[in-house]
């Protein structure tokens, strides 16, 4: 397949590039191209020439500023939205004009918001909070491609656990010193997925015929307190120090919602596709990530 990828330099994009080895890959980059397969684009200044997508079988869009990049002030919340909606809109219009058969677009588990103990799947509506509405706008920005007849899939990604992942990098030092523990009550669900499962599942979506939202999470979401214990076991340390919710909010601000709330998200689409998970438990994923 000829696959055009935007956002290939990020954590997930880099791993996906390796998983797609053997395909003809074209990278859209915002710096001076220094490889034959790289093409310069700037979605914030101009439309993408649809001729760039000639012959492409799929476009993959993983653009977006990090949710945990910094505290969420008004300016950063606008950056979170802009960095997702604008590139998606530009790519979707180019896909429509060039007649590309498929657009595989990023999205996130933030779509579901805080659902307490309720099991949710791809059929549930977007939450009314900031992240839910951000994901809604993100997915809606791909409408031009869908209206033109392209297959559009949305990768609603949970916490990805792999070597060098942001979440593990931030938590590992405290856990290594035996200072880890649950966040807040610890009862909130964390939907996670190992990096190798994420890349394999994304490859399956790209090469297949699935459309619509796809929950990119593992089969067994865990409560935060159980995640804390699993990470402690993976680094051979206890995880007995609870971190009060107010302390998390002081450090992370509004971004703390990622750790203090959650949903028990089920990967129904992946299961229907027959995907077989390599890491079915969070301990397996953490052990692989820290190996």
pLDDT tens-digit profile of 222-278? 999 999 999 999 999 998 888 888 777 776 666 677 778 899 999 999 999 999 999
pLDDT average, residue stretch 77-96 = 97
In the chain, % of residues over pLDDT 70: 98
Its pTM stands at: 0.94
Secondary element (H or E) of residue 154: strand 151-157
Q: How high is the mean pLDDT of the chain?
A: 93
17-60: per-residue pLDDT in tens? 999 999 999 999 999 888 889 999 999 999 999 999 999 999 99
How do 212-216 and 264-265 pair as beta strands?
unpaired
**Among candidates 205, 100, 116, which has minimal Cα distance to 150?**
100
166-184: per-residue pLDDT in tens? 888 888 888 998 888 999 9
Q: What proportions of the chain, in percent to the nearest 5, are helix, strand and coil?
A: 40, 20, 40
Residue 221 structure tokens: 């979401």
């Amino acid at each position: 397949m000829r696959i055009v990828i935007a956002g290939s330099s990020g954590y997930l994009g880099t791993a996906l590039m390796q998983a797609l080895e053997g395909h003809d890959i074209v990278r859209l980059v915002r710096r001076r191209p220094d490889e034959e397969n790289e093409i310069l684009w700037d979605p914030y200044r101009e439309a993408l020439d649809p001729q760039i997508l000639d012959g492409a079988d799929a476009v993959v869009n993983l653009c977006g500023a990090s949710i945990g990049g910094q505290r969420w002030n008004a300016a950063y919340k606008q950056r979170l939205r802009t960095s997702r909606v604008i590139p998606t809109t530009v790519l979707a219009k180019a896909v429509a004009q060039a007649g590309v058969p498929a657009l595989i677009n990023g999205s996130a588990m933030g779509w579901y918001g805080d659902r307490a103990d309720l099991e949710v799947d791809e059929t549930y509506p977007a939450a009314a909070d900031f992240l839910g509405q951000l994901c809604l706008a993100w997915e809606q920005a791909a409408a031009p491609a869908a209206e033109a007849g392209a297959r559009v899939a949305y990768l609603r990604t949970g916490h990805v656990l792999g070597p060098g992942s942001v979440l593990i990098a931030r938590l590992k030092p405290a856990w290594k010193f035996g200072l880890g523990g649950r966040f807040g009550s610890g009862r909130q669900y964390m939907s996670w997925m190992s990096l190798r499962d994420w890349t394999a599942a994304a490859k399956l979506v790209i090469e297949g015929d699935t459309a619509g939202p796809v929950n990119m999470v593992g089969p067994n979401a865990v409560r935060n307190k159980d995640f804390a214990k699993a990470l402690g076991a993976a680094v051979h340390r206890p995880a007995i120090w609870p971190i009060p919710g107010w302390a998390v909010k002081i450090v992370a601000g509004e971004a703390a919602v990622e750790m203090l709330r959650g949903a028990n998200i089920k990967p129904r689409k992946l299961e229907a596709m027959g995907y077989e998970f390599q890491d079915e438990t969070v301990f397996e994923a953490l052990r692989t990530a820290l190996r």
